[in-house]
Amino acid sequence: MPRKRAPGSTKKTGTTKGRTVPRDLEAAKAVSAAVHLQDVLINTFSASAAPRALSAAERSFDQRIRYRVDHNAARRSPLVVSVSMAYEADLEGATVVQIEVQAVALYAFTPGSVSWSADQLDQFAHLNGPYTSWPYLREFISSAAARLRLPRLMLPLWRPPSTITIGGEYRLEASAIHRGALAE
């Protein structure tokens, strides 16, 4: 760190790579009805800031948030859904702040529950995993920013996207952070 970005380069809010499919609340609901949350834990984390980020605390940073959802595709307990989030801030074209965290949600299946298709498990993981983990991720990113003596950072509430991306990541730009909107 710091990492240079091309002048004027921006990444749009949305998703990258992976297979994008429409959101299917009914598929997610089928799995949701037969599981219960056992635990949410912070699995890994890191935070760093270049010295010039600390001395420029009163300036405006170009901010980005990325997150990714993965799961173990288990058809037995526990279903493990991980949500990895990265916050980055640029100053004068260089990345000067990086905060990364991964939350893991563990879900137990109700005894005697039926098995689900891969699509149903994907829908559940991509819709329920972030919903469950987001408060932990928001708090961690905000606390880490405060410990790095950065300006107060408040991430938006999580909103279910209209499409989910299997094997890709979701991105959020500064304008969406300030509006408080994460997805459509």
Q: Is 53 a domain residue?
A: yes
For residues 81 and 124, what is the distance between their CA atoms, to the nearest angstrom?
A: 9
For the chain, what is the mean pLDDT? Answer: 80
Q: Is 10 contained in some domain? A: no
pLDDT of residue 110: 83
- The answer to pTM > 0.75 is yes
Strand ranges (E), the chain: 3-4, 14-16, 19-22, 35-49, 62-71, 79-91, 94-109, 163-166, 169-173
Give pLDDT, residue 175. 59
Number of domains present in the structure of the chain: 1
Give the residue carrying structure tokens 């909103």: 159
Q: Could you report the per-residue pLDDT of 71-84, keeping only the tens digit for each?
A: 987 666 789 999 99
Structural domain for 172, as ranges: 16-179
What pLDDT does 130 receive?
Answer: 93
Whether residue 166 lies inside any domain: the answer is yes
Residue 6 covered by a domain: no
Which band of pLDDT confidence, cut at 50, 70 and 90, is reported for residue 58? low
- Look at residue 24 and tell me if it is in a domain: yes
Residue 184 lies in a domain: no
Does any domain span residue 3? Answer: no
Residue 107, domain member (yes or no)? yes
Predicted confidence band of residue 11 (pLDDT cuts 50, 70, 90): very low
- What CATH number is given to the structural domain containing 98? 3.10.420.10
Question: Which of 153, 154, 161, 152 is CA-nearest to residue 182?
Answer: 161
